[in-house]
Amino acid sequence: MLYQDTVEAEVLVHKPWFVATMFGVVLLVFMAFNLSGTGFAELMRPVIGEPQTSGIYGRFAIGFAIAVMFTLNVVLIGFAPLKLQIGIVWLELLLLFMAFFETFHLSLPFIGEKLPFLITQGVATTLYVSAISIVIASVIAVAGAVAKLSNNGFAYAIASFYTSLFRGLPLLMQVYLIYLGLPQLGFVINAVPAGILALSLCYGAYMTEIFRSGIQSIDRGQWEASRSMGFGFALTMRRIILPQALPVIIPPTGNQFISMLKDSSLVSVIGVWELMFLARTLGQKTFQHMEMLISAAIIYWMLSICLELIQSRIERHYGRSKMR
Amino acid sequence: MSTEAIIEVRAVSKWYGQFHALKNINLTVHKGERIVICGPSGSGKSTLIRCFNRLEAHQQGEIVVNGVALHGRMSNVAAVRSNVGMVFQHFNLFPHMTVLMNCMAGPMWVKGVSAVEARQTALQFLERVRIPEQANKFPVQLSGGQQQRVAIARSLCMKPDVMLFDEPTSALDPEMVSEVLETMTGLARDGMTMVCVTHEMGFARAVADRVIFMDAGQILEEGTPDEFFGNPRHNRTKLFLSQILKH
Ligand SMILES: Nc1ncnc2c1ncn2[C@@H]1O[C@H](COP(=O)(O)OP(=O)(O)OP(=O)(O)O)[C@@H](O)[C@H]1O
Ligand SMILES: [Mg+2]
């Protein structure tokens, strides 16, 4: 959270100009859509008569009703304490999102039938492909960062060539190049290892830069103090520098983890049976695409939320020594 | 005072690129001796003492610490460094470790001392700098003076043969200066060999065996505090002293 001023200002959503503007915008937006065929219009029948023939008056009445509800909702939430506000807004957005899915008229029995396989095969593969890749990428990142900071010409050249190349090619292309290209060189490689290799190399390149800047952000006094006590390079790095760099490194690395989880879907193009692959194929036979895609979407999202939670826990853990 | 030399500096020169930072320095620090180095800003005081544990490299001449010559390709630099304590202007405590751990780290990781023993030593030296009750806090929770005393304790835990101080009080608020100086005076009384870069002339008068005045990378003048303060030879020294003693 930003550093908050102690001077209390009136809550934004209670300022008259803001409320009025919000009301106006919502009214106009909903007038612009023709909602006369919806269930909501049916509810308004006592006011506007037959929805289909109510014309501009009907549109206005519907927009007005929605704007009143919307504005009232926002103003009321403005009175709640912060935590509750956040909770309610989340819940409402979630409900809207579900309502959007509802419009597809998904077949729940079909989802129920396929879901177990989607999870045992798809989620399991997605998870282990990303988990292994994340571990390898982190190892590459530490080594790459140290190489980029060293004054060994070979190490620097190799590391910078690597980061430049793998950050410069689309991940999808790397997946293809590794899966189809390595056999040309005589290494026949299966789809899963190829996918893991591509993800690790690509994310290792990004994370090298994150780790490098994290290490560089540490005051040189820390190096001097360590050195003056006789700590060697590896010890200083492991016990003094990296632990202090972690709070700097973790937020962007968390981003990388989340993004890796989803980019692991790219290995579906080489036929790995992970979540995305199954989402595309399971519904194909019966043309029930949306069922599987939406299920997979929700699963991806929930996995990401887990990672977000883990990330915020770790950040809090490392925040300790900064507190006064 | 014995005549055994702990640090010997012979004809040392150092350059930063084209800039000649140390010019033909000769100096011997004997066991048990307390040396204060002073001089105007940029005169090379920090550079000189940072050469003593090879935080900086010299290009000409010879520096011998505890019988080991310092040079670029030495493999035993860690052994030398662990015998030379250094206290910095900005403390440089490890912020992610408690005060106690700051003091235990060196002995455990460099000397292979057991955790139990390291803890005992650490508590003993924290007692000595009079902040045993802060042992489980993190450095940011302490005042500047307390942090600097922790830094001194951290160095002492390595049981060094000589302690180097680089302006240990100049980043402190005035009311905290004395607590650090008292700690240093106590150390001197116990016979620790010390080289202090400081502008605290009261401390120099009370504690130093020898005061060294540097200017423009050279040792311009050295002598006992009485000689140095009572009868400075060079005009440059007189000017410096008049400026620093004015207030
Ligand atoms: N890393 C460096 N690169 C280039 N020049 C440097 C470097 N470190 C110090 N110098 C120069 O060397 C000279 C001596 O610096 P040094 O830090 O030893 O001075 P000092 O006597 O400790 O001064 P102060 O009282 O301000 O701490 C200064 O002119 C400084 O500009
Ligand atoms: Mg200095």
Angle, helices A191-216 vs A124-149, to 10°: value is: 40
Between the CA of B106 and the centroid of ligand 2 the distance, in Å, is 25
pLDDT at residue number A36:
76
Q: Judge whether residue A312 has pLDDT over 90.
A: no
Q: Which ligand is nearest to the CA of B25?
A: 1
Q: Counting beta carbons within 10 angstroms of the beta carbon of residue B198, is it exposed (0 to 12), middle (13 to 18) or buried (19 or more)?
A: buried
The Cβ-side half-sphere exposure at B24, using a 13 Å CA radius, reads 1
The larger pLDDT score, comparing residue A314 to residue A203, is at A203
Q: Which of A230, A240, A322 sits opposite B140 (nearest CB)?
A: A322
Mean pLDDT by 10 residues, chain B (247 residues): 83 95 95 94 94 94 93 88 94 95 95 95 93 92 94 95 95 91 93 94 93 94 93 91 80
Buried b (16+ CB within 10 A) or exposed e, A109-134: ebbeebbeebeebbbebbeebbebbb
Mean pLDDT of chain A: 89
The C-alpha torsion from B139 through B143 and B147 to B150, rounded to 10°, is -90
- Please, what is the Cα angle at B194 between B189 and B200, to 5 degrees? 85
Query: What pTM value is reported for the model?
Result: 0.81
Q: Which ligand is nearest to the CA of B40?
A: 1
Q: Within 10 Å of residue B135's Cβ, how many Cβ atoms?
A: 19
Q: Which of B95, B125, B103, B81 is nearest to A229 (CA)?
A: B81
Distance separating alpha carbons of residues A232 and A21, to the nearest angstrom: 63
pLDDT at residue number B92:
96
Taking CB atoms and an 8 Å cut-off, how many pairs form between chains A and B? 66
Range of lowest pLDDT (A96-110, A115-129, B180-194): A96-110
Which residue shows structure tokens 């929770």? B141
Residues 218-237 of A with CB under 8 A from B: 219, 221-222, 224-225, 227-232, 235
Distance separating alpha carbons of residues A177 and A194, to the nearest angstrom: 9
Subunit contact B95:A227, Cβ cutoff 8 A: no
pLDDT tens-digit readout, A132-155? 999 999 999 999 999 999 989 999
Q: Which residues pair with B16 in a beta bridge?
A: B19
Pocket probe for ligand 1: among B47, B50, B196, B213, the residue whose CB has the most ligand atoms within 8 Å is B47
How far is residue B117 from each of residues A39, A236, B95, B128, measured CA to CA in Å? 77, 22, 23, 17
Distance separating alpha carbons of residues B218 and A211, to the nearest angstrom: 42
Contact predicate B176/B130, CB 8 Å: no
Distance separating alpha carbons of residues A23 and B103, to the nearest angstrom: 63
The larger pLDDT score, comparing residue B92 to residue A110, is at B92
pLDDT tens-digit readout, A5-57? 778 777 888 889 999 999 999 999 988 887 777 778 888 888 888 878 878 88
Please list, in sequence order, all residues whose beta carbon lies within 8 angstroms of the beta carbon of residue B84, skipping any fewer than 6 positions away.
A228, B52, B53, B65, B160, B161, B162, B163, B164
Buried b (16+ CB within 10 A) or exposed e, B227-236: ebbeebeeeb
Residues of A in contact with B93 (CB under 8 A): 225
Q: Within 10 Å of residue A296's Cβ, how many Cβ atoms?
A: 24
Distance separating alpha carbons of residues A189 and A193, to the nearest angstrom: 7
**Among A228, A236, A318, A323, the residue to mutate for chain B (most B Cβ within 10 A):** A228
* Closest-CA distance of chain A to residue B219, Å: 24
Percent of the residues in chain A that have a pLDDT greater than 70, as a whole number: 98
Residues 99-158 of B with CB under 8 A from A: 105-106, 109-110, 138-141, 154-155, 158
Give CB contacts under 8 A, 24+ apart, made by A153-161. Answer: A159/A208
Which residue shows structure tokens 């129920």? A112
- Whether ipTM > 0.90 holds is yes
Q: Which residues pair with A197 in a beta bridge?
A: none
Q: Judge whether residue A323 has pLDDT over 50.
A: no
Ligand 1 atom index nearest CA of B197: 22
What does DSSP say about strands B60-65 and B5-16: parallel, antiparallel, or unpaired? antiparallel
Give start and end residues of each alpha helix (H) in B13-98.
45-52, 77-82
pLDDT at residue number B111:
93
User: What is the residue with the minimal CA distance to atom 17 of ligand 1?
Assistant: B46
The C-alpha torsion from B73 through B79 and B80 to B82, rounded to 10°, is 140
Q: Ligand 1: residues whose CB is within 6 Å?
A: B 16, 19, 21, 39, 41-47
H or E element, residue A282: helix A275-282
Q: Using the Cα atoms of residue A83, residue A89, residue A95 and residue A97 in order, give the sign of their dihedral.
A: negative
Q: Within 10 Å of residue B69's Cβ, how many Cβ atoms?
A: 11
pLDDT at residue number A206:
94
SS3 B197: strand
Distance separating alpha carbons of residues A175 and A181, to the nearest angstrom: 9
Subunit contact B88:A221, Cβ cutoff 8 A: yes
**Per-residue pLDDT averaged across A234-251, rounded?**
91
How far is residue B66 from each of residues A232, B37, B39, B61, B110, measured CA to CA in Å? 20, 20, 26, 17, 18
Q: Which of B187, B217, B224, B244 is nearest to B58 (CA)?
A: B217
Q: Within 10 Å of residue A230's Cβ, how many Cβ atoms?
A: 21
Instruction: Please give the structure tokens belonging to residue B167.
Output: 């302006």
Q: Judge whether residue A188 has pLDDT over 60.
A: yes
Which residue shows structure tokens 């990672």? A307
pLDDT at residue number B205:
92
What Rg do the C-alpha atoms of chain A give, in angstroms? Answer: 27
What letter does residue B112 receive in the DSSP assignment?
Answer: -
Nearest residue of B to residue A221 by CA position? B92
Ligand 1 atom index nearest CA of B214: 21
Between the CA of B217 and the centroid of ligand 1 the distance, in Å, is 9
Subunit contact A324:B55, Cβ cutoff 8 A: no
pLDDT at residue number A320:
58
pLDDT tens-digit readout, A266-309? 888 888 888 888 888 888 888 888 888 888 999 999 999 999 99
Q: Which of B78, B109, B141 sits opposite A239 (nearest CB)?
A: B109
What letter does residue B60 receive in the DSSP assignment?
Answer: E
pLDDT at residue number B247:
60
Contact predicate A106/A294, CB 8 Å: yes
